[in-house]
Structures are given as C-alpha cells and as structure tokens.
C-alpha cells in the first residue's frame, strides 16, 4: 500500500473558475460534482453512495425532473475573479437498499471564490484553495483547504427526504489516496464555433466524516466540468479498489437512444450503439503504473434480478478495456438507479431531452490480465463503483 500524499497534486489553478471557455447560449453547462462511496456493512458487495452537484447552465429555461428552473441572468465575475452565478445544488443518496432522489434539490445564488481573492478568509497559499458557497440558510459548501491537504463537503437533505428516512446531513473530509489517482487530471478541447469542454478530475480520494450522527470512511471521485456542445448518449463509469487502484471507461456514442423522449429505465433502443470514441484508464497500485486504453467495449443487457426503487428493471454491464500490455474485463450490475431528466426548450418551439442515469454498482466478476499474471476479485478486499448511461440529445 502506498503512503498517501500530504496534499492534492496536479494543476488545480482553475478549480473555481468557469471562464476558461467563452459561454454559448443554450449549450454552456458548468458543474462541480462529487461522488462519495461508503462501504455497506449489511452487504459488502455493495456500497452506499452520495452524489452532490453544484451547477449552472446558460439557458433561459430548463426543466429538471419535475422542477422548472429559470436561471436569472448570467454569472458575474468581479475584478479579482470571484464568480457569482444562478445555480442549483442537487444530490441523491443511496443507503444500500433505498434510493433517495432527490436527497437535495435547491435553487440558490452560488459564489465561487479562490484563495487569491481579497475576501478569502485564509492564506490561499496552496494553488487551488477556494470554495463553492451557495447563499442559503444551510451550509451546502464545498472547498479545498489552504494547505491542499483536504476538501470539505457539507450537505443537508430536503425535509421530504429526511422525513422518508434519509440522514439529515453529511459532514465530510476528503483527502488524497495515491499520487496518481489524487492528482488533478486536466483536459481541454475546443472544436468549431467555440464548442468544446474543459474538465478537472480527481479519480480516487479517501473520505471520512459524519453521516447524520454516524462516523464513516470511504472513497470519493470528483469532476469540475465546463461543456458547451450538444450532449450525446454515453456510457461511463469507475471502480475504486481496496488497495487504491482505480479503473474507468468511457464511450460516447450515436444510437437510436438519441431519439428517446422519456426516462424509462430499459428500452430496446439502448442495445445498439455506434461508438464515437472509446477510452479507459487504470491506475494500478500493485504494478506501480497507469495504463491508458483506447479500446473499450460496453455491452448492456437487462438484469432480471435487479430493480430500482420504482420497480423498473435495471441493467447489467459487461465491460472490457485493453491495450498492447494489459486488459481488464468486468461484469457489474446496477444495484439501484438515480436519474435526472432534463427538458430544454430550443429553436422553433422544440424541446430537447436528456436522461442522465447513475447506477451504484455491484461487481460480479473481474479479471485483470497483464504480462505479470492474472488478478480477480479474490485479490481485493472490496471493489466498489458507479456507472452512468445517458440518452437523448440536449441542445
């Protein structure tokens, strides 16, 4: 097991800025996103999971699930780089049995400030220190400490979710795990007409804190994203391994699911896809190296023994990533589903649609094959993760 770094690594200088790309009306979308993975004592094959999202969109009107969101004005940037923006804070919580979605859904004016701002209360000595602070009665903030040693994440559930059995609050401290997985991975790409994306990721971190009154320890994944292009369907997911190893896969694709207008959990049109890109990443702690994969396959089939909280059938995913030296094959099934439905009015009176699904996973089979041998599930104390499947075409 590697010793954990004392601070997060990589380029975090733009962590709290949303002006890396010029905004495009109806297309620009910005968010900070944490997914917290906690062990489930009742079923070690599964995990409890919390997703929290701080987001804004450059659009006059978006319907999010049953909520009509009309962001008032574009975000403002002061002379020192502090952002204030019309946004939403959203979250779901899966306790290993029941899915609470939304756990939190709140409109709020949001401030994003980095450690170099005169109003920052600390020293700001670590590049990337700063915070996202929704202006609400509750503390729903997230930020990075002045020494880069940890993030904090505070979240409090809506009254309805808490009354239904969800914990009242989360108070979490997120720290580095391994140098490879806890160093910021930065990608930026601009296509024609200023369309493109700008993404910062922290692939795997450690997490500890309080869920309600209960102490917890687990892992965490982070993204800060600017995207301004039509959102096509995709498969994506990640796994955290007990020794700090990390795996992900990504396939944006064209398929008949682009025409989907509803959020039903399973449709025949989901079966066939034309990949637009395939990619994967493995931070392998035992081998002491990181493997990038340009070849990836995902097959999705209905899982006859797994249903979400509404009684809808859930998917099973067979995933394979490989290069000239290593290959990883996994079979995972969705333990439950959280989903967000986006309906955005567009030109000529039309409404575009996107269904974004997140699936807490149960890993059923795993094989890691390389020049030094074979590893399976038996080589790890636990393997936990989450998968995404999105359909529709939001524009």
Q: Which residues pair with 39 in a beta bridge?
A: 47
* Mean pLDDT, rounded, for 212-217: 96
> Considering only 55-69, 163-177, 274-288, 364-378, which range has the smallest mean pLDDT?
55-69
Query: Could you tell me the CA-to-CA distances from 236 to 65, 186, 251 in Å, in that order?
Result: 21, 17, 6
Neighbours of 68 (CB within 10 A): 9
Greatest Cα pair distance, the chain, in angstroms, is: 59
- Indicate if 200 and 108 belong to the same structural domain: yes
**Whether the Cβ atoms of residue 266 and residue 286 lie closer than 8 Å to each other:** no
Q: By residue range, what is the domain housing residue 265?
A: 230-395
d(CA 347, CA 135): 33
Closest CA to 87 of 53, 63, 138, 36: 53
- Indicate if 140 and 253 belong to the same structural domain: no
Rounded (5°) CA angle 91-93-94: 150
Per-residue pLDDT tens digits for 244-271: 999 999 998 877 565 666 666 666 556 6
Percent of the chain, pLDDT > 90?
Answer: 68
The residue written with tokens 């997140």 in the block is 358
Residue ending a domain, among 168, 198, 229, is 229
- Indicate if 5 and 142 belong to the same structural domain: yes
d(CA 353, CA 63): 9
pLDDT band at 191 (very low <50, low <70, confident <90, very high): low
Strand pairing of 183-190 and 9-10?
parallel
- Indicate if 184 and 97 belong to the same structural domain: yes
* Mean pLDDT, rounded, for 321-330: 97
Contacts of 72 (CB under 8 A, 6+ apart): 86
Closest CA to 56 of 121, 132, 1: 132
- Indicate if 246 and 202 belong to the same structural domain: no
- Indicate if 330 and 224 belong to the same structural domain: no
Rounded (5°) CA angle 312-318-323: 150
- Indicate if 153 and 136 belong to the same structural domain: yes
Tokens of 216: 């917890």
Tokens of 361: 């996973």
- Indicate if 63 and 203 belong to the same structural domain: yes
d(CA 266, CA 312): 8
- Indicate if 114 and 68 belong to the same structural domain: yes
- Indicate if 211 and 339 belong to the same structural domain: no
CATH number at residue 317: 2.40.370
- Indicate if 58 and 205 belong to the same structural domain: yes
- pTM of the predicted structure, to 2 decimals: 0.94
More confident residue, 364 or 69: 364
DSSP state, 161? Answer: H
Strand pairing of 313-322 and 289-293?
unpaired
pLDDT at 158: 97
pLDDT at 232: 78
Mean pLDDT of the chain: 89
- Indicate if 234 and 205 belong to the same structural domain: no
């Amino acid at each position: 097991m590697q010793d954990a770094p004392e601070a997060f690594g990589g380029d975090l200088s733009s962590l709290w800025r949303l002006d890396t790309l010029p905004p495009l009306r109806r297309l620009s979308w910005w968010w900070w996103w944490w997914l917290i993975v906690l062990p489930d004592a009742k079923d070690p094959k599964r995990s409890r999971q919390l997703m929290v999202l701080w987001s804004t969109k450059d659009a006059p009107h978006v319907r999010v699930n049953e909520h009509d969101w009309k962001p008032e004005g574009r975000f403002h940037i002061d002379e020192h780089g502090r952002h204030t923006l019309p946004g939403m804070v959203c979250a779901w919580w899966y306790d290993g049995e029941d899915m609470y979605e939304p756990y939190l859904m709140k409109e709020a004016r949001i401030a994003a400030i980095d450690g170099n701002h005169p109003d920052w209360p600390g020293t700001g000595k670590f590049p990337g220190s700063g915070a996202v602070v929704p202006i609400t009665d509750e503390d729903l903030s997230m930020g990075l400490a002045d020494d880069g040693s940890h993030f904090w994440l505070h979240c409090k559930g809506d009254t309805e979710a808490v009354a239904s059995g969800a914990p009242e609050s989360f108070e979490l401290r997120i720290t580095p795990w391994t140098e490879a997985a806890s160093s910021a991975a930065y990608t930026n790409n601009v296509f024609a007409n200023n369309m493109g994306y700008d993404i910062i990721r922290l692939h795997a971190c450690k997490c500890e804190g309080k869920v309600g009154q209960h102490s917890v320890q687990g892992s965490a994944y982070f993204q800060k994203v600017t995207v301004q292009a039509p959102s096509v369907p995709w498969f994506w997911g990640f796994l955290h391994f007990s020794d700090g190893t990390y795996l992900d896969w990504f396939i944006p694709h064209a398929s008949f699911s682009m025409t989907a207008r509803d959020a039903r959990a399973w449709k025949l049109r989901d079966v066939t896809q034309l990949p637009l890109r395939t990619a994967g990443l493995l931070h392998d702690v035992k081998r002491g190296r990181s493997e990038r994969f340009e070849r990836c396959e995902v097959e999705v089939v209905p899982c006859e023994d797994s249903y979400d909280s509404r009684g809808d059938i859930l998917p099973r995913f067979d995933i394979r990533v490989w290069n000239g030296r290593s290959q990883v094959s996994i079979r995972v099934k969705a333990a439950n589903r959280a989903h967000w439905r986006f309906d955005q009015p567009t030109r000529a009176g039309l409404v575009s649609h996107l269904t974004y699904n997140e699936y807490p996973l149960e890993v059923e089979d795993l094989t890691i094959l390389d020049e030094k041998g074979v590893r399976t599930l038996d080589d790890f104390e636990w393997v936990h993760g989450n998968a995404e499947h999105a359909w529709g075409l939001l524009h």
